[in-house]
Structure 1
Amino acid sequence: MLEELELTDLGPIPHATIQPSPGMTAITGETGAGKSMLLSALKLIGGGQADATRVHPGSIRAWAQGVFTVSDTSQAMAVARDAGAEVEDDELYLSRTVPVQGRSRAVLNGRTVPRSVLAQVSEHLITIHGQADQLRIASASRQREFLDRFANNSKQRKAFSDAWQAYCTVNERLERLRTQEADMVQRADYLRESIARIDQADPQAGQLDELKERRTRIENAAQIEEGVSLALAALDGSAEDDAQGAVDLLGHAANALRSMHLGGVFDELATRLESAGAELDDVRFTLAQQMPDHEETANLDELNARIHELGELVQRWGPTLEDVIAWRDQARLDVEDLDASPEKLEALEAEQAKLLKKAQQCAKALNSSRVKAAQELSTHVTEELGSLAMAGAQLDVQVHRREELDATGGDDIEFLFRPFPDSPALQMGKSASGGELSRLMLAMELTAASAKLHDDEAASDAMTFIFDEVDAGVGGKAAVELGRRLAMLAQNAQVIVVTHLPQVASWAGRQFVVTKGDGPGGIETTVRRVEGEERLEEIARMLSGSSTQTSRAHAKELLKDSQLD
Structure 2
Amino acid sequence: MLDQLYIENIAVIEKASIDFSKGLNVLTGETGAGKSIVIDSIHAVLGHRTSKELIRSGAKSAFVSAVFRNLSASVLKRLSELSYTPEEDGSLLLQREIREDGRTVCRINERPATVSILRDIGSLLVDIHGQNENYGLLSQNQHLRYLDQMAQDEGALLEYQNAYTAMRSTEKQLKSLQMDEAEKARKIDLLSYQVEELENADLKLGEEKDLKEKRAFYRNSEKLANAVGEATDALSGGEESMGALSELETAAKALEEVQNLPQAQQLSSRLSDLSYELEDCLSELQNLSEQLSYEPEDVEKTEERLDQLYRLGQKYGPDEETMLSFLEKAKNELNQIQSADEVVAELNERLEKQREEAQKLAKVLSNLRRDTAKTFVKRVRKELNFLDMPNVEFEVEQLSAEMEMQGIDRVQFLISTNAGEPLKPISKIASGGELSRIMLAIKCVLADRDEIGTLIFDEVDTGVSGSAAQKVGLKLWETSRGRQVLCVTHLAQIAALGDQQYFISKRVDSGRTFTKVDLLDREGRVEELARITGGGELTPLLLQNASEMLSRGERKKLALTKQG
Q: Please confirm whether the aligned pair reaches a TM-score higher than 0.5, indicating the same fold.
A: yes
Once the two structures are superposed, what CA deviation does each residue of 1:425-471 show, in whole Å capped at 9, x if it has no partner?
4555x75555443322111011223xx4x2xxxx3x41532212222
In structure 2, C-alpha distance between the alignment counterparts of 1:34 and 1:193, rounded to whole Å: 73
Distance (Å, rounded) in 1 between the aligned partners of 2:433 and 2:103: 31
Using the TM superposition, name which of 185-194 and 409-418 deviates more.
185-194
Could you say what secondary structure the match of 1:17 adopts? strand
**Which of 401, 409, 412 lines up with 1:411 in the alignment?**
409
Deviations 1:151-192 (A, max 9, x none): 23345324424543554565566667x479999975996599
- Give, in angstroms, the shift of residue 83 of structure 1: 7.1
From the superposition, tell whether residues 375 and 354 of structure 1 become closer, same or farther in structure 2 (CA, over 3 Å).
Answer: same
Q: How far did residue 82 of structure 1 move? A: 7.4
Question: How has the CA–CA distance of structure 1 residues 113 and 396 changed in structure 2, closer, same or farther, with 3 Å as cutoff?
Answer: farther
User: Is the 8 Å Cα contact of residues 97 and 106 (structure 1) preserved in structure 2?
Assistant: yes
Residue 87 of structure 1 deviates from its aligned partner by 5.7
Instruction: Please state if 1:559 is matched with 2:554.
Output: yes
Q: Deviations over 1:484-533 (max 9, x none)?
A: 11122223333211123333223323221212345576543211222455
Aligned to 2:74: 74
Aligned residue in 2 for 1:385? 384
The structural deviation recorded for 1:103 is 1.1
Note closer, same or farther for the CA distance 1:33–1:542 as it changes in structure 2 (3 Å cut).
Answer: same
Are the equivalent residues in 2 in contact too, given 1:64–1:97 (CA < 8 A)?
A: yes
Cα pair 2:412 2:425 within 8 Å, conserved: no
- The aligned length equals 416
Question: In structure 2, what is the Cα distance between the partners aligned to 1:81 and 1:181?
Answer: 53
Give the structure 2 partner of residue 355 of structure 1. 354
Instruction: State the one-letter code of the partner of 1:507.
Output: L
Q: How does 1:177-256 map to 2 (within 5 A)?
A: 178=177, 190=189
Change (3 A) 1:557 1:424: closer
Say which of 507, 512, 517 aligns to 2:497.
507
**What are the Cα deviations for residues 75-131 of structure 1, in whole angstroms up to 9, with x where unaligned?**
7964x77777676566554444345x4315251425666645544443443333333
Alpha-carbon distance in 2 for matches of 1:35, 1:134: 19
Q: Is the 8 A contact 1:378 1:394 kept in 2?
A: no
Amino acid at match of 1:26: V
CA gap of 1:525–1:368, structure 2 versus 1, over 3 A, is same
Matched position secondary structure for 2:131: coil
Structure 2 unmatched ranges of 5 or more: 194-311, 313-332
Question: Which stretch of structure 1 is more off in the superposition, 437-446 or 547-556?
Answer: 547-556
> Does the Cα contact within 8 Å between 1:13 and 1:524 map onto a contact in 2?
yes
Structure with the higher fraction of residues in helix conformation: 2
The 3 A distance-change label for structure 1 pair 153 and 132 is: closer
With over 3 angstroms needed to count, the CA separation of the structure-2 counterparts of 1:394 and 1:59, relative to structure 1, is farther
Q: Computing the radius of gyration over CA atoms, which structure comes out larger, 1 or 2?
A: 1
In 1, Cα distance between equivalents of 2:47 and 2:432:
22
Q: 1:481 to 1:98 in 2, by over 3 A?
A: same
What runs of 5+ residues in structure 1 fail to find an aligned partner?
Answer: 195-315, 317-333
SS of equivalent to 1:74:
helix
Decide whether the 8 Å contact of 1:68 with 1:93 is kept in 2.
yes
Q: Is the 8 A contact 1:394 1:418 kept in 2?
A: yes
For the aligned residues, what is the CA RMSD? 4.4
CA contact (8 A) 2:134 2:435 kept: no
For normalisation by structure 1, the TM-score amounts to 0.60
State the 1:27 CA deviation: 0.9
Q: Partners in 2 of 1:159 and 1:437 — Cα distance? A: 34
Corresponding residue of 1:525: 515
Which AA in structure 2 matches 1:400? L
Change (3 A) 1:462 1:523: same
Q: Indicate the SS of the match to 1:21.
A: coil
Structure 1 counterpart of 2:383, one-letter code: E
State the match for 2:144 in structure 1.
144
* 1:496 and 2:491 matched: no
1:373 CA drift (Å): 2.9
Secondary structure at the counterpart of residue 366 of structure 2: helix
Correspondence for 2:473: 483
Matches within 5 A, 1:51-450: 51-52=51-52, 54-69=54-69, 71=71, 74=74, 78=78, 88=87, 92-99=92-99, 101-109=100-108, 110=110, 115=115, 117-131=117-131, 137=137, 139-165=139-165, 167-168=167-168, 178=177, 190=189, 342-343=341-342, 345-403=344-402, 405-416=403-414, 425-426=424-425, 428=427, 432=430, 434-449=432-447
**Could you state the TM-score of these two structures normalised by the residue count of structure 2?**
0.61
CA separation of 1:362 and 1:431: change in aligned 2, threshold 3 A: same
Q: Match for residue 207 of structure 2? A: none
Aligned partners of 2:105, 2:392: CA distance in 1, in Å?
Answer: 41
Give the counterpart letter for 1:21 in structure 2.
S
Residue matched to 2:298: none
Counterpart-to-counterpart distance in 2, 1:337 and 1:562: 73
- CA, structure 1 residues 131+341, in 2 after alignment: closer, same or farther (shift >3 Å)? closer
